[in-house]
Structure 1
Amino acid sequence: MKTYNSNHAWKELNELLPEKFKMKADNLPVEEVWTWNGNQIHLDRYPNPDAEYRIFLHHGVGTNGRQLNMIFGHKMAELGYDVVAMDNLGYGMTEVNQKDITYDSWVHCFADFVNMETKRDPKKAVLYGLSAGGMICYNAACFIDNLSGIIGMCFLKNDDKVVGKRTAKYGSTNWIAFPIMNFFNSLGFKRLKIPMKAVSKMNYLTNNDRALKIFLNDPASAKADVQMQFLYEYMSYKLPIPVNEFDKCPILLTQPMEDKWTPLELSERSMKGIKAPFTIKHLDGAGHYPMEEKGLEQLIEYSDSFIRSLAK
């Protein structure tokens, strides 16, 4: 099993966090593997047998499960929640054995895991997604049997051309890039690997310059490659349940207010008309991957309050 002992990036990033948010050596998550479709899916877990809620963490296209536990998971575990972060296909310490990796694979891998865990140990399930992980949580929720709530840092409708233009690295060329990708997919180049940082605004992943350099050189997060078919589907995925019909659970948007990649108006556009209860909370002074103390404190406070409200 690959573990985060072999990855130095998260340790370097950890040192750049505010002191109260740094992971300590005596409080690291338990590393496990879950086999899904022949892949060895890496899990970073803070187990709590007595917890009422289990929080399932999903990263975006520039982060991994350990990096989510650093800013969110271990602090929620300190509050008494059971927490588990997944590394999806191609990211973190997960070992991929399937040939085709699509966005739909990510959605169903996560949904299958939540369903399996909840049947094994019926704690109430809450999803947390950072960046693209927010909409992964929404899409996966459409296939999850029992769900109490969703927390996301942003929720971006994949096939919205305005959202795509604003978030892609060369958004003005999306009108030609999209059909070109479709053409190459049809020619058999669907497994061609593309650096995610080459096509996305990965330079806005965090507002901490030292941390950004670490991210961009980490193959387990912001330096990861994705298959062309993943990228094509990521840009065109249709919501399994339209937002105006989605009422499976309440949703909390925790929006970093200094996010230069996915500003608030894009999530508001994507979730306009949603049927489920939808609350927005601002993280003051925080960037896309928040490393700022006030924003991180607010993230934990708002998330804890949201989950507690679910029991009322």
Structure 2
Amino acid sequence: MSYAKNREWEKIQEYLPIKNRMKVDMEPQEYFISIQNTEVHIDHYKVDRPRGRVIMFHGVGGNGRLLSFMAIPLMKCGFEVICPDLPLYGYTKYRGIVTYDMWVSCGVEIVNYFRREKRDTFLLGLSAGGMLAYQIAALCPEITGVMATCILDQRNRIITKQTAVNPVMAVVGNAILSMTHRVIGSWKIPMKMIANMKAITNNQDLADILMKDTRSSGTKVSLAFVYSMLNPLLETEPENFTKCPFLLVHPEDDRWTDVELSRLFFDRLACEKELQILEGAGHFPIESKGLEQMQRYCVAFMEKCLTE
């Protein structure tokens, strides 16, 4: 199966600004790459003589195809864009128990796979993909810059409480998982039972569609994944991160993760950094004005960082 054969993702397109919708001649090349115990599905938006490469990472409510809303404008601006489906999501095939640590190691190998062709490489993470992009950048050589719509350190229990489906679930759930994840880690539960998925977008009709989609917000994840996501292992603390510049493009009307939650980590970063607010945008920033700003800020950031 692939997005070319299963067109369910097209339901999302009508909620996007017209210029961000995918036309037939804009559809990415689809293929799989073998990494660890997975066959990672890739959406690859190719351009002639690209100015740079952007590898985009979705969060716990998305998949690679949902990132088309930003991949298309970046492609139009001359950047090669690569959107993988991370294990548990989209069409990526995997064996064994998936943990968040596996996301990090898989992400590092994805970046290294494409870096075989030398080119300025940027990472762009949305939602939980923001912290993931940071962790991958810390482990990969020669990353030109990192961009994110939010960056949440789930080791901070303030963040865990405010992003979970309810505060009690955050506290009690993590305590129970700390004692049981090694025994029943393979058990799967819907992500929407844990995280506040209904706030993934400010359009309730779209949120309902996403939460019914078993390849995005409606997927089931293992208890081992949940525990490792809530207790991530960071190789580099933000005070020691100087590898590359960092751009935070945070939605103004994010009803899931307020900008102040991201600032708890962002303000500690030792690298060159920049914060821009996307006016009127929700967590999944599909609103026209905020999306235009996101494109403009990301392109300007990359143009400033380009080395070739």
Q: Which residue of 2 aligns with 1:160?
A: 156
User: 2:82 matched to 1:84?
Assistant: yes
Deviation at 1:9, TM superposition (A): 3.6
TM alignment of 1:150-299, pairs within 5 A: 150-186=146-182, 188-299=183-294
Letter in 1 for 2:80: D
Letter in 2 for 1:36: I
Q: Which residue of 2 aligns with 1:109?
A: 106
TM-score (norm 2): 0.97
Moved runs in structure 1, 4+ residues, more than 4 A?
none
Q: Deviations over 1:205-236 (max 9, x none)?
A: 00112211110110110001111011001001
SS at match of 1:276: coil
How many residue pairs align between the two structures? 307
- Distance in 2, matches of 1:182 and 1:276, equals 33
Unaligned 5+ segments in structure 2 are none
**Contact 1:259–1:286 (CA<8 Å) still a contact in 2?**
yes
SS at match of 1:60: coil
Deviation at 1:141, TM superposition (A): 1.1
SS at match of 2:54: strand
Q: Which residue of 2 aligns with 1:122?
A: 118
Letter in 2 for 1:144: C
- Distance in 1, matches of 2:147 and 2:266, equals 13
- Distance in 2, matches of 1:195 and 1:62, equals 11
Q: Which residue of 2 aligns with 1:31?
A: 30
- Distance in 1, matches of 2:222 and 2:258, equals 27
Q: Which residue of 2 aligns with 1:13?
A: 12
Deviation at 1:6, TM superposition (A): 4.1
SS at match of 1:4: coil
- Distance in 1, matches of 2:134 and 2:6, equals 29
- Aligned-pair RMSD on alpha carbons? 1.2
TM-score (norm 1): 0.95
Letter in 2 for 1:94: T
TM alignment of 1:128-143, pairs within 5 A: 128-143=124-139
**Contact 1:111–1:144 (CA<8 Å) still a contact in 2?**
yes
Letter in 2 for 1:13: I
